Amino acid sequence: MHTNALHDPAHAFMPYPAVPVPHAPTGPLAGLSFAAKDLFHIAGYPTSGGQPLLLALLGVQSRTAPTVQRLLDAGARFAGKTITDELAFSMNGQNAHFGSPINGAVPERITGGSSSGSASAVSNQLCDFALGTDTGGSVRAPASHCGLYGLRPTHGRVSLHDTLDLAPSLDTCGWFARDAATFARVADVLLGPDTTPLGTEAGGVRLLLPTDLWELATPAARKALAPARAQVEQVLGKARNTRVVLDGLDDMYWHFRHIQGAEAWQVDGGFIQRFAPPLGPGVSQRFAWSAQVSDAQAASARAFRDRFRAHMAQLLGSNGVLLLPTMPDVAPLVSEPEAGLEDYRNRSIRLLCAAGLAGLPQLSLPLAQRAGAPLGISLLGPAGSDRSLIALAEQIAQHTAA
């Protein structure tokens, strides 16, 4: 098990000196170790947000984020803080200042970001589970790339108090684990009971296949996901075709990006303007673009989001679950040039933005692979159905094992 962040062959952890973080001797998570993305404040540790100048400004923290404290109080042992993509504004898992965490499933491919270090730590078996955050896909993307379970919860369901923001109306706190049973143990501590439990009414779950979102996966990925889709259908019944996109895919993409950009600039713009910190490739361009998002664009995007939320609520009702590819394909190679990674990121956002815009829970399951690399398939449910989605994942995992 991971004990020293300075000896870290996976490059998953920030090289902070180890500080004792007390945890309960017993509890539902006793015997498990966890890491936290370096956006969460933990008393005795610095918080960097993946940015050296911000690390110097923020320094060592005196408070621990309540979500981290809940895990400690449940008996989990803290293993260290993990590298995040710079200011959490990337999906590649490569930090120009602190390095690139290694994908434990396929080292020659990117982990995906921005919760790259957390996915790396779990996939390299350096801890049992790890906290990440998901704004545009920062838990779901690395979960798919590294062969892990990963959840973007219902917006607001898991506290992000004492955690660095990126775009608060889109930010969520998720986590990774290698197996469904461990994932569910963490869920019991962080989620509590569902406000919208699935399958409680007659007929159980209605499985829906969003054909317009499946078209965003590459033909090779769709083929590789077919057996996983069949596995899910064996447990939850045949999926019925539906369509999710409102107005158009490009409209959804730009509305998402306008909200994210406007809020990211609101959060980090003052810091960037005052200190002109050196920002890594991709990140600097995204902030420069974000600074230009107009109030009118942001307002129009928020109005669209209200309509899209109503559209999704009507589509899912209280028992509809979408079955969709988590990502368009397996993780790109580490050697992929920046332009190729940016293209992959933009294709991915089109697939990932539905849950983000609607504020809905999406769980990625590590059920497929292609070219020797993992590929996730997702369950997306109504607001407040997070714990039920994880229970479905447990059923699917047990059925697959049998």
The structural domains of the chain, ordered by start, are 33-248+294-401 (3.90.1300.10)
Q: If you compute the radius of gyration of the chain from its CA atoms, what whole number of angstroms results? A: 19
Q: Phi and psi of 219, rounded to 5°?
A: -55, -40
What lies within 8 Å, CB to CB, of 317 at 6+ separation is 206, 382
Look at residue 23 and give its three-state secondary structure.
coil
Other beta carbons within 10 angstroms of residue 193's beta carbon come to 9
47-61 residue pLDDT tens = 999 999 999 999 999
Question: Among 114, 118, 385, 388, which one carries the catalytic annotation?
Answer: 114
Read out DSSP for 81-117?
EEP-SGGG--SS--BTTTB----SS-TTB---SSSHH
At 159, the amino acid letter reads S
Q: Per-residue confidence at 206, pLDDT binned at 50, 70, 90?
A: very high
pLDDT tens-place string over residues 127-156 = 999 999 999 999 999 999 999 999 999 999
Express each pLDDT in 287-334 by its tens digit.
999 999 999 999 999 999 999 999 999 999 999 999 999 999 999 999
Closest to 12 (Cα-Cα) out of 98, 114, 88, 101: 101
The pLDDT, as a whole number, for residue 300 is 98
Half-sphere exposure of 55 (CA within 13 A, CB side): 17
What mean pLDDT comes out for the span 103-109? 98
What pLDDT is attached to residue 338? 85
Tens-place pLDDT, residues 115-135: 999 999 999 999 999 999 999
pLDDT at 203: 59
* pLDDT given for residue 1 in this prediction: 39
Is the pLDDT at 209 greater than 50? The verdict is yes
Cα–Cα distance for residue pair 348/194, rounded to 1 Å: 29
Is 0.85 topped by the overall pTM? yes
Give the tokens for residue 337: 């040039």
DSSP SS3 for 370:
strand
Q: Is residue 204's pLDDT more than 90? A: no
Q: How far apart are CA 22 and CA 6, in angstroms?
A: 20
Residues contacting residue 326 through CB under 8 Å, at least 6 positions apart: 140, 141, 143, 144, 351, 362, 364, 375, 376, 377, 378
227 has pLDDT over 90:
yes
pLDDT at 400: 83
CA gap 114, 94 in Å, rounded? 8
| CA dist., res. 269 & res. 200, Å (int) | 46
Pairwise CA distance, residues 350 & 12, whole Å? 28
Question: How far apart are the two ends of the chain, measured CA to CA in Å?
Answer: 29
Q: Does residue 3 surpass a pLDDT of 70?
A: no
Q: Do residues 369 and 325 make contact, with C-beta atoms less than 8 angstroms apart?
A: no
Of the candidates 140, 142, 169, 22, which has an alpha carbon nearest to the alpha carbon of residue 82? 142
- State the Cα–Cα distance between residues 112 and 140, nearest whole angstrom: 9
pLDDT, tens digit, 9 for 90 and up, residues 245-276? 999 999 999 999 999 999 999 999 999 999 99
37 is a catalytic site residue: yes
Active-site annotation holder among 120, 138, 144, 348 = 138
CB 12 within 8 A of CB 121: yes
**pLDDT of 281:** 87
Q: What is the mean pLDDT of residues 336-344?
A: 90
Decide if 186 contacts 35 (C-beta within 8 A): no
Per-residue tokens: 55: 């690390």
**Run of H or E residues at 223:** helix 219-236
**The predicted structure's pLDDT at residue 126:** 97
